[in-house]
Chain A
Amino acid sequence: SQTIHQWPATLVQPVGSPLSLECTVEGTSNPNLYWYRQAAGRGLQLLFYSVGIGQISSEVPQNLSASRPQDRQFILSSKKLLLSDSGFYLCAWSVSPRGGVGNQPQHFGDGTRLSIL
């Protein structure tokens, strides 16, 4: 069966410090990968998605970047964190659509609670 791992679970960082959150998926190959941010009282906001190694699409302009160095590894980074980067970050994966049959759900990790001081 497929599993998704995110770490760390919680992180407290000072303003201006760098960030690296990691996500890995097991039990599947060539998944679509996603980074979301979930803010209180708001729906999940898609930040980045990737359909393959080195292929990253950004959904919103921001202080963050993403990379996919391996098939099942997705990394969220920042060079200098802002107070507004605080939030709950979720990584997700879905089966890559093939031949038009791609209406698969996204499956989420347990998230990283990021607090910026």
Chain B
Amino acid sequence: GDSVTQMEGPVTLSEEAFLTINCTYTATGYPSLFWYVQYPGEGLQLLLKATKADDKGSNKGFEATYRKETTSFHLEKGSVQVSDSAVYFCALKHNAGKSTFGDGTTLTVKP
């Protein structure tokens, strides 16, 4: 079955540092890939997505590229802010099916 593996957290960075959160997946076919963000006490918000190989999703300074050859979708941001502190989830989804999520990576950004 499908699975998503994220780098384990927690990740602690200083403000303006470079962020990478690794995500690799196992799936049949060609799923769409997503990053969601969850702030404390809230639901998941879609951060970015990519629907086919070599697509790059980007939003709010975050970006991730769908790499079919390495089955990866790593999240990056060039300069993090305190307000980026949250839990980040990588996910995949096939047409008309459930989404499979990684276990989440907690990011804390210190001023």
Is A bound to B?
Answer: no
Query: Could you tell me which B residues sit within 8 Å of A by CB distance?
Result: none
